[in-house]
Structure 1
Amino acid sequence: MQQRALGQHGLEVSELGLGTMGMTMAYGPGGDRDDSVAVIRRAHELGVTFFDTAELYGMGKGLNEQIVGEAVAPFRDEVVIATKFGFSFDADGNRTGMDSRPEHIREVAERSLKWLGTDVIDVLYQHRVDPDVPIEDVAGAVRALIDEGKVRYFGLSEAGPQIIRRAHAVQAVSVLQTEYSVFERQVEAEILPVLRELGIGFVPYSPLGRGFLTGDVKPAEEYDEGDFRRTNPRFQGENYRRNKEAIDRLSELAESKGITTPQLALAWLLAQGDDIAPIPGTRSPKRLEENVGAAEVELTADDLDRIQQIVPEGAAGARYAEGAVPVWE
């Protein structure tokens, strides 16, 4: 596994990371804690050094961060841990709103340090832009934590060009996290050019199209209650039919190269620039090993052209249901 530089301030990570959200939320019932710890440790054995978590993934109770902290404890100094702030929760762990007030950022960071069992957070992201708190105040709060040695690098998630520029002017932004995959291409027009102008690295989340690019997919109504895909427009009706057709064609290309469809999708992302480090998530050791194998895949110019022909503009359907978690502006 090769290393990649994210930003211009010293942050280096494995070219493929591991997203841990699905270990506790969004894709049906959370997995077994011991199994999740084992997957994270196996990822490290395979060369992964970049692990992504968030306060949100533990419903404000540290459930996800504690798993990550326990898993990486034996090799903490060898890995990069990224976590996020930006929401408020009630006593039952339900998200009640957004909250990026500086005093709240500090509270969340202190809790995350405890839950992760570490004395420093490598990357601290604002999970979503808070319309009620100026981004300059957010950047200033993270800068204070960096000055105190509690955080190493500042990240943003789902932030638009102007927010990125304003934050970067106060505290250098090392990395932006936003959805990006063969199926989701919105960042290409405006976001990636700004990141490259400012020297900011990019971490694509949902690089396998929320599972669609694994090929192991079914219509929305066949997923369990509480599964994100049940309400996702890309898994519904005509959108599902068109997207499944695209997956079938991508799978044919992958098979012709002797690789799997997820490996094709991840290799495509890695080919978009050496400032990009995707974070596919999984609870399966077998799927983990398959994903990591994408780092060995070389795509030709003809392969990239063929992929572009199959999905010239990404997937059919919006990436979130109307009224869901806000995205960049």
Structure 2
Amino acid sequence: MTETITAAAAGTWALGDLTVNRIGFGAMRLTHLADGSPSDRDRVTAVLRRAVELGVNHIDTAAFYFSPLRSANELINRALAPYADELVITTKVGPGRDAGGNWWWAAPEQLRGQVEENLRQLGRDHLDIVNLRIQRRETTGSIAEHFGALAELREAGLIRHLGISNARADHLAEARAIAPVVCVQNPYGIGSPTEDHAFADACGEQGVAFVPFFAIAGAGKEAGVVADDGERVRALAEAHGVSAAQLRLAWTLSRGPHVLSITGTGNPDHLVENIAAGALRLTPEEVALLSAA
């Protein structure tokens, strides 16, 4: 019988005083499929519970992850409450969506309302980690006013730890001057530009977790994988006897012990495959080959 690989295979990292397995779970896929069609409530509830059974103790979510029929936060609450002490739930604020699904961005004074919305939906009295999602990574200037508002909510006990998302190196420096930052959550994967590799490394040097999203999907983003994986990825995946998606995850984790995975899925088979990728070890030569892909 093949032994089931758990999330512990990838090792752990400390987010402040919270230790998590480096393989986590992203909740974006809980509410709908890649083509926009509704998810099956029982199926995704089972996926959440199975993820925890397989050692996942870090779940990334947001109040704006919802569809006309589903709310990711409420699905998490329904599936996993009462929450295990070791389960860390990370959420993000900044963006919001109205009932019609139209996007809006919070002013600093509106962030408390977004934090309280996450608290209500998750059934928590505090949030473990809240990331400030930055609207436009390339053009957004100072984040001090927004991050400072979250730092006040941290001091008030509504939030335990803070992070930033879709950020640049100068955003991180500005945030760290205001309050401790435990994680940076950015788009990242094979094929990312050189400056993104440098920022991932810099986070590790500062003891800050680097948490990629779209690590598998790449340019496909919310729609999932749409681009060709490339000959290097396909050939190396075949040599290791894994899927291209698993190889992409393994490469991401190989970038440093501070790099975490929050790949999500509503498919129980893909969940097992994603977690198993945490046990795959690439050589320095393979990492370099894929980094140049």
Tell me how far apart the structure 2 counterparts of residues 60 and 190 of structure 1 sit (CA, whole Å).
39
Aligned to 1:314: none
Tell me how far apart the structure 1 counterparts of residues 94 and 244 of structure 2 sit (CA, whole Å).
34
More helix by share: 1
- Secondary structure in 2 aligned to 1:58? coil
Aligned pair partner of 1:128 in 128, 134, 137:
134
Give 1:292 shift.
0.6
Equivalence map 1:63-142=2 (5 Å): 63-95=71-103, 97-99=104-106, 101-129=107-135, 134-142=142-150
Give 1:157 shift.
0.4
Matched, 1:291 2:274: yes
Partner AA of 2:19 in structure 1: E
Alignment gaps of 5+ in structure 1: 213-226, 312-329
- The alpha-carbon distance between structure 1 residues 111 and 61, as it changes in their structure 2 partners (threshold 3 A), is farther
Tell me how far apart the structure 1 counterparts of residues 232 and 199 of structure 2 sit (CA, whole Å).
28
- The alpha-carbon distance between structure 1 residues 61 and 165, as it changes in their structure 2 partners (threshold 3 A), is farther
Tell me how far apart the structure 2 counterparts of residues 125 and 303 of structure 1 sit (CA, whole Å).
32
- The alpha-carbon distance between structure 1 residues 30 and 78, as it changes in their structure 2 partners (threshold 3 A), is farther
User: CA offsets per residue over residues 41-88 of structure 1, 9 Å max, x none?
Assistant: 101111111111112212699811111222221443221101111124
Alignment gaps of 5+ in structure 2: 1-6
Tell me how far apart the structure 2 counterparts of residues 160 and 82 of structure 1 sit (CA, whole Å).
20
Tell me how far apart the structure 1 counterparts of residues 141 and 69 of structure 2 sit (CA, whole Å).
23
Tell me how far apart the structure 2 counterparts of residues 133 and 61 of structure 1 sit (CA, whole Å).
36
Equivalence map 1:155-174=2 (5 Å): 155-174=163-182
Checking the alignment, whether the CA contact within 8 Å between 1:23 and 1:30 is kept in structure 2 is no
User: CA offsets per residue over residues 255-285 of structure 1, 9 Å max, x none?
Assistant: 2222222221111111110001011111100
Aligned to 1:280: 263
> How many aligned residue pairs are there?
282
The alignment's TM-score, normalised by the length of structure 1, stands at 0.77
Superposed CA RMSD in Å reads: 2.8
Equivalence map 1:1-329=2 (5 Å): 1-2=7-8, 3-6=11-14, 9-25=16-32, 27=34, 28-58=36-66, 63-95=71-103, 97-99=104-106, 101-129=107-135, 134-185=142-193, 187-210=195-218, 228-229=222-223, 235=226, 240=227, 243-244=228-229, 246=230, 248-308=231-291, 311=293
User: CA offsets per residue over residues 86-143 of structure 1, 9 Å max, x none?
Assistant: 1243342321x321x2321100111110100111211101122478995222222212
Give 1:249 shift.
3.9
Aligned-residue sequence identity (percent) comes to 31
- The alpha-carbon distance between structure 1 residues 186 and 61, as it changes in their structure 2 partners (threshold 3 A), is farther
The alignment's TM-score, normalised by the length of structure 2, stands at 0.86
Checking the alignment, whether the CA contact within 8 Å between 1:59 and 1:89 is kept in structure 2 is no
- The alpha-carbon distance between structure 1 residues 194 and 301, as it changes in their structure 2 partners (threshold 3 A), is closer
Tell me how far apart the structure 1 counterparts of residues 158 and 141 of structure 2 sit (CA, whole Å).
22
